[in-house]
Structure 1
Amino acid sequence: MTIEIGILLSIASIVIAYLGYQLNKQKQQTQYQENIKNDATREAVIETKLDNIGNGVENIRIDLRANAREIGALGERVTRVEESSKQAHKRIDAISPDKG
C-alpha cells in the first residue's frame, strides 16, 4: 500500500508540474502577443508622426517658395519706386532755382 501511495504522489506531482509548465507557457505566449501589439502600436504612432512632420516640411517649402516670389516682386517694385523718385528729384531740381 505504501508503494501505491508513493506512485500516486509521483504521478500527481508529474501532472501538477506539467500543468504548471503549460500555464507558464500560456502566460509567456500572452505576454509575447501583448508585446507585439504594443510594438505595432508604437510603430504606427511613430510613422504617423513622421508623416505629419513630412507634411509640415512640405508646407514650409511651399511657404518659402511663395515668400521668395513675394520678395522678388517687392524687389522689382522697390527698384521702380527708386527710379521714379530719381526722375522726380531731377524734375524738382530742374524747376527749383539754383541755390548758389
Structure 2
Amino acid sequence: MNIEIGVIGALFGFLISYFSFLRSRDKDVKKEATEKVVTNTKLDHIGAGVNSIQVKMEVKDERMTALTEKVIRIDESAKSAHKRIDKIERDDEK
C-alpha cells in the first residue's frame, strides 16, 4: 500500500511537472513570436526610411550635377566676356 501511494505521488508529480513544462514552453513560443514580429516591423520601417533617403539622395545628386554644369557654362561665359573686354580695352588704347 505504501509503495502504491509513492508511485501514485510520483506519477502525479511527473504529470504536474510535464504540464507546467508545456505551459511554460507555449508562453516562451508566444513571447518569441511577438518579439520577432516587433523586430520585423521595426526592420521594415528602417528599410522604408533607408529607401526614402536613397531617393532623396538621388534627387540631390541630379540637382548637384545640374548646378555643376551651370557653373561650368557660367565660367566659360565669364572667360569669353573677359577676353572680349580685354580686346576692347586694347583697341581703345591704340
For this pair of structures, how many residues does the alignment match? 92
Match runs of 1:70-89 below 5 Å: 70-89=63-82
Deviation at residue 85 of structure 1 after TM alignment: 0.4
Unaligned runs of 5+ in 2: none
Counterpart code for 2:60? N
Q: Structure 1 length as normaliser, TM-score?
A: 0.77
Larger Cα-atom Rg: 1
Secondary structure of 1:96's aligned partner = helix
Specify the alignment match of 1:13 in structure 2: 6
Secondary structure of 2:90's aligned partner = coil
Q: Structure 2 length as normaliser, TM-score?
A: 0.81
Secondary structure of 2:76's aligned partner = helix
User: Bigger shift: 29-38 or 90-99?
Assistant: 90-99
Deviation at residue 47 of structure 1 after TM alignment: 0.9
> Per-residue displacement from partner, 1:21-49 (whole Å, max 9, x unpaired)?
11101110111112101210221122123
Counterpart code for 1:19? F
Specify the alignment match of 2:53 in structure 1: 60
**2:33 aligned with 1:40, yes or no?**
yes
Structure 1 segments, 4+ long, off by >3 Å, are none
Specify the alignment match of 1:3 in structure 2: none
Unaligned runs of 5+ in 1: 1-6
In structure 2, C-alpha distance between the alignment counterparts of 1:77 and 1:26, rounded to whole Å: 76
What's the C-alpha RMSD, in Å, of the aligned pairs?
A: 1.9
Specify the alignment match of 1:4 in structure 2: none
- Identity over aligned residues, as a percent? 34
